[in-house]
Amino acid sequence: MKILWLCNIMLPKIAKNLSLPPRSINGWLTAMSEELIKQENIDFSVSFPILTQAVPVEGSVAGITYYAFPLSGKNYTFCQATEDYLFSVLKKANPDIIHIFGTEFPHCLAMVRACERANLLNHIVIDIQGLTSIYAYHYFAALPEKVVHSYSLRDIIKKDNIFHACEKYRKRGALEIEALKKVSHVLGRTDWDKACAEAINPDAVYHSCNRILRRTFYENRWSLESCERHSIFVSQWDYPIKGFHLLLEALPILLRCYPDLKVYTTGKSPLDKMEFKNRLKQNYYLIYIKKLIQKYHLKEHIVFLGRELDEQAMCRAFLHAHVFLSPSSIENSPNSLGEAMLLGLPCISSDVGGVKNMLKHGAEGFLYPYEEYYMIAHYISRIFDNDTLALQFSAAARKHAQRTHDPQQNLKALIQTYEEIYHHT
């Protein structure tokens, strides 16, 4: 079979071939593609947006043929030039299956429309990552209304505060819905994405396939002896859906009992001294986070580990922590939670989206209603204070994740999905 992927980012091998820095996000794409390339009966190609070029870039490396296209226009508006280029890619690649990863950006619809022109609609499977049409309802994440409608100087210039960012999600969501309504096959992993897919397009066939995660997380294991006691790791924080502001509300409660408490997260600190021009780039959500840190005197308790941690550095950050927390207002199946569980790091997560398919409350970790920040403090305390419970969660969650993220089983499920579509087109 000839398989063409449409992704939101380029794979690391391609980045290296183009002398570009690889992105550390979406590591599961790398893991899945490497397994797929090993299959003798698969002819593999991939298309993706490229930020550094004004014209398409094509080539091949390590068994992958690639078609990179420049991003044209805004990331929430449709671009006809992208559709036209992807139509040309279909002619060159002549795929049996077009696997679209994610609906969040307009190039998803561009590919669907290109396939419609090429009479290949029934050859598409859309892989649901998040859904912006649904995420828009959860974007404000229990933020105070005043914060939602406030502006930084950067927001004034760009007309892009938290409220407007949500509106962009809605606009992208309209394109997402159009794409999903046109296709006959979707791929998902959770009750949540299945329910959403059925609500948007009840006629599409739903296929199931879990993620293969980054290799390092299969090779390491968390231990209570080597972690930093009373520390928390949060993998992302810099926009409202990730719920970091709710964790900050919980920290004063925790600090009463754990004055040595530390929170580790990725990204650059909003408290860092910076030149005036860089301060102008801060959106109001970052300013609000800074205000909460200052209000609750949290500066010494939060460590920002920097941007674009590679796979090994990210794994070390997980292993260093006492607890992993996912405080998001909405998720489908967060890979960060899967990676934490795979390592055996005790986990707490907001009970949103498809999370309940990943983690069983009370047996493998704790789930809580996302806006109830005081429950974050309660459940973290229970793990901090009870090593037996921490080890019980560690073993049970790891066992569950090893089943969910089994590389061979998930590769088998993916190929089976391709074969089912191929034989019914």
Per residue in 356-380, pLDDT (tens digit) is 999 999 999 999 999 999 999 999 9
Predicted confidence at residue 148, as pLDDT, reads 97
Predicted confidence at residue 21, as pLDDT, reads 79
Predicted confidence at residue 73, as pLDDT, reads 58
Predicted confidence at residue 72, as pLDDT, reads 67
Asked whether the beta carbons of 284 and 162 are under 8 A apart, the reply is yes
What's the CA angle centered on 401, arms 397 and 404, to 5 degrees?
Answer: 140
Average pLDDT over residues 242-268: 97
| Closest by CA position to 10, among listed 83, 54, 87, 65 | 65
The rounded Cα 180 to chain-centroid distance in angstroms is 19
Q: Please give the Cα distance from 281 to 287 (Å, whole number).
A: 11
Residue with tokens 């719920």: 243
| Pair of tokens at residue 284 | 């109001």
Asked whether the beta carbons of 54 and 44 are under 8 A apart, the reply is no
The rounded Cα 23 to chain-centroid distance in angstroms is 13
Q: Please give the Cα distance from 69 to 56 (Å, whole number).
A: 4
Average pLDDT over residues 71-87: 82
Proportion of the chain above pLDDT 70, given as a percent = 97
Percent helix, strand, coil in the chain, to 5, is 45, 15, 35
Q: Please give the Cα distance from 67 to 57 (Å, whole number).
A: 6
How far are the Cα atoms of 92, 176, 197 from residue 67, in angstroms, in the given order? 10, 22, 28
Average pLDDT over residues 209-232: 97
The model's pLDDT over 276-294, given as tens digits with 9 standing for 90+, comes to 667 777 999 999 999 999 9
Per-residue pLDDT band at 31 (split at 50, 70, 90): confident
Type and span of the H or E element at 144: none
The model's pLDDT over 304-325, given as tens digits with 9 standing for 90+, comes to 999 878 999 999 999 999 999 9
The model's pLDDT over 344-358, given as tens digits with 9 standing for 90+, comes to 999 999 999 999 999
Q: Please give the Cα distance from 117 to 83 (Å, whole number).
A: 10
- What is the pTM assigned to this prediction? 0.94
